[in-house]
Each structure stands twice: as structure tokens, then as C-alpha cells.
Amino acid sequence: MIKIYHNPRCSKSRQGVALLENSGKEFKIVKYLDAVPSEKELTEIIKLLNISPIELVRKSEKIWKENYKGKELSDSEIIKAMIQNPKLIERPIIINKNKAVIGRPTENISTII
């Protein structure tokens, strides 16, 4: 089943949900600010996305700028920062079987559904 890591306050994330609804395919919404992924789960998502952890960070967030920007952080430390501050996780993330994309732009979602 398709899974979308969703933040209802984000317009791109809402667009992602709408695209999935219009696709007619079954999917599950994970509101990741409420159900924060575990370290293992986030590591798996990053592997599926085929990116480094820093590429999943929303670097424009105030939390990042005030606490992490300019620091030398290991991949593990970046993942821990995202778990402690889930607002830092780029969104939406869509997973379909063994493939994943960040839904920015929304058209990326069409490549895996």
C-alpha cells in the first residue's frame, strides 16, 4: 500500500494527498508530526529515497537555523535532529513498495504510483 508522510498545514503535502485521492489508489496517511518516525524507520525512508540525511532536512526552518546550521553533524546526528524536531523533515514523502519520493514538486508523486 502507498504511504504518505503528511503535514496537513503544508500546501504541498495537501496537494500530494489530493493527487493520491484522485489516483483512485489505496493509500495510508501518516501525520508524521503526531506519529514521529523512529530512528530505524527514518533511516529506511532515507535509503528508499536514495539520498543522504541532510537532503531530507528543511534548512529554512527556524529550528535548523538556530540549532544546527553551520555545525559539522554526522548522518546519525542529523537523523536524531529530525526525530527530535519532526518539523525539519521535508514533506510530503510518498512510499510505494520499495520506492520513495519527496513530493516537491507534486509531479514527483506520479513517478511511483
Domains of the chain: 2-111 (3.40.30.10)
> Tell me, what's the pLDDT at 20?
97
> Tell me, what's the pLDDT at 47?
98
- The residues assigned a catalytic role are 10
pLDDT in tens, 57-109: 999 999 999 999 999 999 999 999 999 999 999 999 999 999 999 999 999 99
> Tell me, what's the pLDDT at 88?
98
> Tell me, what's the pLDDT at 67?
96
Tell me if the pTM is above 0.85: yes
> Tell me, what's the pLDDT at 30?
98
Q: Give 101-109 contacts, CB < 8 A, sequence gap 24+.
A: 101/49, 102/49, 102/56, 103/4, 103/12, 103/13, 103/15, 103/16, 103/19, 104/12, 105/12, 106/12, 106/15, 106/16, 106/19, 109/16, 109/19, 109/20
